[in-house]
Amino acid sequence: MRRCHLSAVLGLLLACSGARADEGMWLPAQLPQLAAQLKAAGFKGDPAQLNDVTRPPLAAVVSLGGCTASFVSPQGLIVTNHHCAMGAIQLNSTPERNLIRDGFIAAQRSEELSAGPAARVWVTVGFDKVTDRILAGARGKTGRAYYDAVDAARKAAVAACEAEPGYRCSVVEMYGGADFYLIKQLELQDIRLVYAPPESIGNYGDEIDNFMWPRHSGDFAFYRAYVGKDGKPAPFSKDNVPYQPPAHFTVSTAPVQVGDFAMVAGYPGVTFRHRTASEFANQIDWLLPNRVALLDGLIRTIDAATAGDPDKQVRYASTVASLKNNLKRAQGELDGLRRSDAVRVRREDETAMLAWLAKQPDGRRALAEIRALQAQLDAQQASRERDLILPFLRPGLLGAAVQIQRLALERGKPDALRETGYQQRDEALIEGGLKQLQRRYDPEVEKATLRFALKRYFALPPAQRLPEFDAVFGRDEAEAAQRLDALYAGTRLGDTATRLAALRQDAAQLAASDDPLLRAALTLQPALLRLEAESKQRAGELLRLRPAYMRALIAYRQSQGRAVYPDANGTLRVSFGKVSPLSPRDGIDYRPLTTVAGIVEKHTGVAPFDAPKPLLDAIARGDFGSTADPVLKTQTVDFMTNLDTTGGNSGSPVLDAEGRLIGLNFDSNWEAVSASWMYDPRYKRAIHVDMRYLRWLLAKVYPAPHLLQEMQLPAQ
């Protein structure tokens, strides 16, 4: 077996490893080196064509920021998940015109609805390695100095990249900070809702079925991207024209069968498979149990605060849906990692790795850096309770006040020295978010969520309390209730025009404001800045030291002949495998395809199993036309593969051996939710909407023949 020296290991990731077809979220640049594995899995295309994200087929895959989508026509038509479009659906809903409940179809382009001023579609046009450029000024430095050097280099690279208007750039780290890549994306700003089925189709089963198999959800929706008449990105305008993408997928009309090749391309969020044993233990023994309790309590709080009020329920529908998804994911991750005995497995693996490392010629220095890394991780534990709860003390309107005050502070600096997220490039997105807040906020509900979060804050050990937070909220629950009533009774930020006016004021003007929320945000700001400084010091050390752990881990994996790939980080990745059944427990065998019969079997007439009458009638008629499965003799709904996915892959296109679109990824099975930390091929499955179900709904149930025609699909 080929030996991999620690200092050269990052350049030999594939040469030294035996890659599995069903494991790994691969960078496109790595795929030509996986040609043999792709061909063995059944791929019929040219793996070399997967190398370039700016050309077909991968140029058709786009990011929504937290979700993935793909172009399916030359006229900017985009398909993604219903739950990824939920924000736009909710934004355009009222109790009288409830698009969440009733769905939406734009019969013509003039009827398409803006997804909101903050909605974006990002088309990747560049993906370049810039490690030497980013680390040049950081070498020899430690802590905050290391962080600042990397941060300055990142900002400089981004500023140069964004010199051409219409683009959004970012610098991302790979392998714990051993490598850096510059990502350049076209930023499309005029995004419109085209089609969304009723929630009783798009989210059939809701949280009961979430992360479960068998599934029967039609989790899809359509957007369209628009640009100015000059073809360049522009804000919403009736004069804009559909964007013409560099590539779009052809929707397959062929059947999907067990054992078929499948490939997913998307923007998975974050995985942690290469973290230390102590980080695994903290995640399983402390963080996940506490996150579950926190999210569950917050959902209950919002449900109680919105009960009996349709307007409040609509305003918080997207928020609650996201919280429920995160809750179930956290619980599933906890159960899965415990089931896999992940703490023991990871600790034993790390112990063996360190023993192996001690025998390597250059192992002594690496071990010293790994010990220093562990000391930093241990130090984080001292404030973990506070760090978990503080983000929940800045919801909605209060969060907007904090953001307005911080932006005013940052505007007093040269743009290159502003904090990331508050540079000139960020101001349009900030303004868009402040505008959208109007449809996602209610003062009584927000106060209820703050009272819930403050109860946990007041229970913190005294050393973790912050004087500025005590000054704003008081020192106990009774005092906090009075303070919150006064804050929200006196503020004028609930009015959109007032918020936007405050956004344009400088720090001195805001400091003179008598608005209680703006004054509260100003009081909180020193504490937030202090915590941020502490975080940057720690982040700098972790960024400096983690590469030593990663180089050792990669070399050790390669010595075992095991697969090596970078953890997911929101960049474009490709995974490949097959349509696969699942046997999660003794005596239980799941086939990988579900049909409309399951919709009828689950239907109770009560949410979340309240299939709409047009759907039930169409199923009863049995008129499935060209979308019927030739083997099952009925209409399929969802299917399952062994593709390696995680959060952020929602909406990702699932492709067949010839690169045609056969499904939309929307979930994982319960047994595989823990795959963000530990991959287990026995259990890891991904769940997808069958494009045949989408086609049938558009043809027979909630008809949109114009969309079928645009995608060059049969009308029946």
83 is catalytic: yes
Residues 6+ apart with CB under 8 A from 323: 295, 298, 299, 302
Spatial contact of 274 and 104, defined as CB atoms under 8 Å apart = no
How big is the CA angle at 531 (ends 525 and 533), to the nearest 5 degrees? 100
Distance CA 429, CA 410 (A): 16
Taking CB atoms within 8 Å and a gap of at least 24, the contacts of 368-373 are: 369/545, 369/548, 369/549, 370/545, 370/548, 370/549, 370/552, 372/541, 372/545, 373/276, 373/541, 373/542, 373/545, 373/546, 373/548, 373/549
Selected catalytic residue, list 73, 82, 83, 676: 83
114 is catalytic: no
Closest CA to 119 of 201, 171, 181, 62: 62
Selected catalytic residue, list 219, 260, 656, 667: 219
Count of CB atoms within 10 A of residue 675's CB?
27
Taking CB atoms within 8 Å and a gap of at least 24, the contacts of 406-410 are: 406/525, 406/528, 407/503, 408/505, 408/506, 408/507, 408/509, 408/510, 409/507, 409/525
Q: Which three-class secondary structure state does DSSP give residue 660?
A: coil
Provide the β-strand partners of residue 265. 574
Largest CA distance in the chain: 72
Spatial contact of 645 and 702, defined as CB atoms under 8 Å apart = no
Surface-to-core class of residue 120, CB atoms within 10 Å of its CB (0-12 exposed, 13-18 middle, 19+ buried): buried
Length of the chain: 716
What are the two backbone dihedrals, phi and then psi, of residue 227, each rounded to the nearest 5 degrees? -135, 170
Selected catalytic residue, list 252, 340, 650, 652: 650
Distance CA 429, CA 409 (A): 17
Q: Which three-class secondary structure state does DSSP give residue 455?
A: helix
481-490 burial, b if ≥16 CB within 10 A, otherwise e?
bebbeebbee
In this structure, which amino acid lies at residue 177? G
Surface-to-core class of residue 12, CB atoms within 10 Å of its CB (0-12 exposed, 13-18 middle, 19+ buried): middle
Distance CA 393, CA 480 (A): 12
- The dihedral region occupied by 442, where left means phi > 0, alpha psi between -120 and 50, and beta the remainder, is beta
102 is catalytic: no
Distance CA 639, CA 129 (A): 36
Distance CA 66, CA 55 (A): 23
DSSP string of 146-163, one letter each residue: HHHHHHHHHHHHHHHHTT
Closest CA to 555 of 300, 356, 319, 317: 356
Q: Which residues form the catalytic set?
A: 83, 219, 650
